[in-house]
């Protein structure tokens, strides 16, 4: 999955340190990220690459995280793609990058960029928020409000009935491949309760024998995913929620398409069922 970057090591410990010329930075414009345009892989800029044209970037940068010994910073600056050799490309490239550590760095940076962008003012008193120099925290000097990065819990559910797996396709989304039942945990719910509710709401089925599989940070939607396998309990007739799903179908194991990649928990769980590693 996207977070499996071994032997490289991701360290999200906050550091209040100034950037150096060899450090890398991430720059976003909406759903795009700045990369070297003559590279087939995600090649992020260093401050040295922009030292002649933008020598002030190091002073204005925000520390993000470290991968191995390399520090990553966030830069909020317009016009960086005016420098020859650099361009903004869609963050959808994170899904196709073969080196997961590159896509993971860009996706986590994008998540933090959205957090900083979306929390410029205090939701309690409307005064500007300030960035802490001690931890990854925003605070309001006026009323004392504090804000940490938002992470929402979500379940991924593989419902199976003997040798069949329930597969779905989303309605009104760019992602067109098969997926599993998914949904956010509501206030006061356990994950197991969320599993039962989401399956009933989206396809009208009852489930039993709910078993936890594993989790995944999913920076694309600011979520932490918890994967579960469960068995059909009773009638197998699918009653689709058309607002959420375009397709819901039972597929025998030997008809399930092989996963194109294992970047997501969803694709890994489908592939694990298809190859009998998990059921």
Q: Which domains does the chain have, with CATH numbers?
A: 10-118 (3.90.79), 120-150 (no CATH), 152-274 (3.90.79.10)
Burial of 200 (0-12, 13-18, 19+ CB in 10 A): middle
pLDDT at residue 98 is higher than 90? no
Cα-based distances in Å from 190 to 136, 155, 225: 28, 10, 14
Residue 113: what pLDDT? Answer: 97
Torsion angles phi and psi, residue 168, rounded to 5 = -130, 165
Contact 10, 104 (CB under 8 A): yes
Higher per-residue pLDDT: 277 or 210: 210
Sign of the dihedral through C-alpha 88, 91, 92, 96: positive
If we measure between CA atoms, which residue out of 77, 100, 22, 133 comes closest to residue 262? Answer: 100
pLDDT bracket for residue 279 (50, 70, 90): low
**Choice among 72-81, 149-158, 160-169, 253-262 with the minimum mean pLDDT:** 253-262
If we measure between CA atoms, which residue out of 162, 135, 8 comes closest to residue 70? Answer: 8
State the first-to-last Cα distance of the chain, in angstroms, to the nearest integer.
19
Tokens 């933090």 correspond to what residue?
112
- Please compute the mean of the pLDDT values over residues 165-186 and round it to a whole number: 88
Q: Is 203 helix (H, G, I), strand (E, B) or coil?
A: helix
pTM over 0.75: yes
Residue 247: enclosing H or E segment and its boundaries? strand 245-252
For 218-262, how does the pLDDT look when each residue is reduced to its tens digit (9 = 90+)?
999 999 999 999 999 999 999 998 888 899 999 999 999 998 788
Q: Is 198 helix (H, G, I), strand (E, B) or coil?
A: helix
Other CB atoms within 10 A of residue 167 CB: 22
- Report how far residue 207's alpha carbon sits from residue 187's, in angstroms, rounded to the nearest whole number: 21
Torsion angles phi and psi, residue 108, rounded to 5 = -65, -40
Torsion angles phi and psi, residue 271, rounded to 5 = -65, -35
Sign of the dihedral through C-alpha 43, 47, 51, 57: positive
């Amino acid at each position: 999955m996207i977070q499996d970057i071994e032997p490289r090591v991701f360290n999200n410990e906050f550091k209040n340190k100034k950037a150096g010329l060899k450090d890398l930075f991430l720059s976003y414009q909406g759903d795009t990220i700045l990369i070297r345009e003559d590279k087939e892989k995600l090649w992020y800029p260093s401050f040295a690459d922009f030292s002649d044209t933008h020598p002030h970037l190091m002073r204005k940068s925000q520390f993000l995280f470290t991968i191995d010994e390399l520090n990553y910073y966030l830069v909020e600056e317009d016009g960086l793609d005016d420098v020859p050799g650099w361009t903004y490309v869609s963050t959808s490239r994170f899904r196709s990058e073969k080196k997961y550590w590159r896509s993971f760095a860009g996706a986590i940076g994008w998540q933090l960029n959205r957090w900083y962008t979306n929390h410029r003012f205090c939701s309690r008193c409307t005064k500007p928020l300030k960035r802490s120099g001690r931890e990854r925290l925003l605070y309001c000097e006026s009323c004392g409000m504090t804000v940490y990065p938002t992470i929402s819990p979500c379940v991924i559910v593989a419902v199976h009935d003997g040798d069949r797996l329930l597969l779905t396709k989303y309605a009104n989304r760019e992602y067109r491949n098969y997926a599993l039942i998914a949904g956010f945990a509501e206030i006061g719910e356990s994950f197991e309760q969320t599993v039962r509710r989401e399956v009933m709401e989206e396809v009208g089925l009852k489930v039993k024998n709910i078993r936890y599989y594993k989790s995944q940070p999913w920076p694309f939607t600011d979520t932490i995913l918890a994967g579960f396998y469960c068995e059909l309990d009773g009638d197998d007739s699918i009653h689709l929620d058309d607002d959420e799903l375009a397709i819901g179908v039972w597929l025998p194991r030997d008809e399930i398409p092989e996963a194109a990649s294992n970047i997501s928990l969803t694709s890994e769980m489908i592939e694990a069922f298809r190859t009998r590693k998990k059921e």
